[in-house]
Structure 1
């Protein structure tokens, strides 16, 4: 059975648009791997959590902010389709060379 992702968002905070954007990205990327994405209004102000079949994946308060979409896709991929390539989302950007030689 394919997993369902639930995005619980605070409607009073105006996070429905952010939630729907994330849902669209996840459904586009994982069209064959997911049962669906449920958008669920939170009962607690300021809540923004993402879970897969009831298991927590992201909590805005615990993480200190919202996840970047590329990081969220990697987290979901690691749980639902570990062998799936995410293309550019898999690339880790190298830090610029400081120009200093290590000794």
Structure 2
């Protein structure tokens, strides 16, 4: 039996030296909870060099490299939503004060 990869595939690459595993697992949980019906799989990818990237099907949707500070989960959820389910409302995450 061959393993079938379901799409979309969400990847979170994180720096092990920076101890960002807890942040990566928390973000994975947030995204899985929000997009449980839309995501095919989520992968955590250990790396080094200060990297923290969120990718959908290999395309970077958010990177700490281009945004020196971490953004909040709501912003990343919007970026992922825009890629995998653009018509899906996110409730309170879509509202801004």
TM-score (norm 2): 0.90
Any unmatched runs of 5+ in structure 2?
1-5
1:96 is aligned to none
Q: Aligned-residue CA RMSD in angstroms?
A: 1.0
1:10 is aligned to 15
2:3 is aligned to none
Any unmatched runs of 5+ in structure 1?
94-103
**For each residue in 1:7-34, what CA deviation from the matched residue of structure 2 results, as whole angstroms up to 9, or x when unmatched?**
0000111100000000000000000000
* In structure 2, C-alpha distance between the alignment counterparts of 1:46 and 1:23, rounded to whole Å: 18
Deviation at 1:2, TM superposition (A): 2.6
**Does residue 1:26 correspond to 2:41, yes or no?**
no
What are the within-5 Å matches in structure 2 for residues 47-86 of structure 1? 47-86=51-90
Secondary structure of the equivalent of 2:86?
coil
**For each residue in 1:58-92, what CA deviation from the matched residue of structure 2 results, as whole angstroms up to 9, or x when unmatched?**
11021112221000000011110011111100101
TM-score (norm 1): 0.85
Aligned residues: 92
